[in-house]
Amino acid sequence: MRQLILDTETTGLNAKTGDRIIEIGCVELINRRLTGNNLHLYVNPERDSDPGALAVHGLTTEFLSDKPKFGEIAAQLRDFIAGAELIIHNAPFDVAFLDVEFGMLGLPKVAESCADVIDSLAQAKQMFPGKRNSLDALCDRFGISNAHRTLHGALLDSELLAEVYLAMTRGQESLVIDMLGDQPTEDAVATARVALDDLDLPVIVANGDELAAHEAVLSDLDKAIKGTSVWRKEETQAADDAVAA
As annotated, the active-site residues are 152
Q: How far is CA 106 from CA 41, 44, 100, 109, 182, in A?
A: 21, 19, 10, 9, 44
Strands 85-88 and 116-119: parallel
Cα separations in angstroms, 37 against 4, 25, 40, 79: 10, 11, 10, 13
CA distance 245 to 126: 37
- For the chain, the helix, strand and coil percentages under 3-state DSSP, each to the nearest 5: 45, 15, 40
d(CA 10, CA 157): 14
DSSP 193: P
Q: Which residues pair with 24 in a beta bridge?
A: 8, 41
Q: How far is CA 172 from the centre of its chain?
A: 13
Encoded amino acid at 119, one letter: D
CA dist 131 and 243 (Å) reads 38
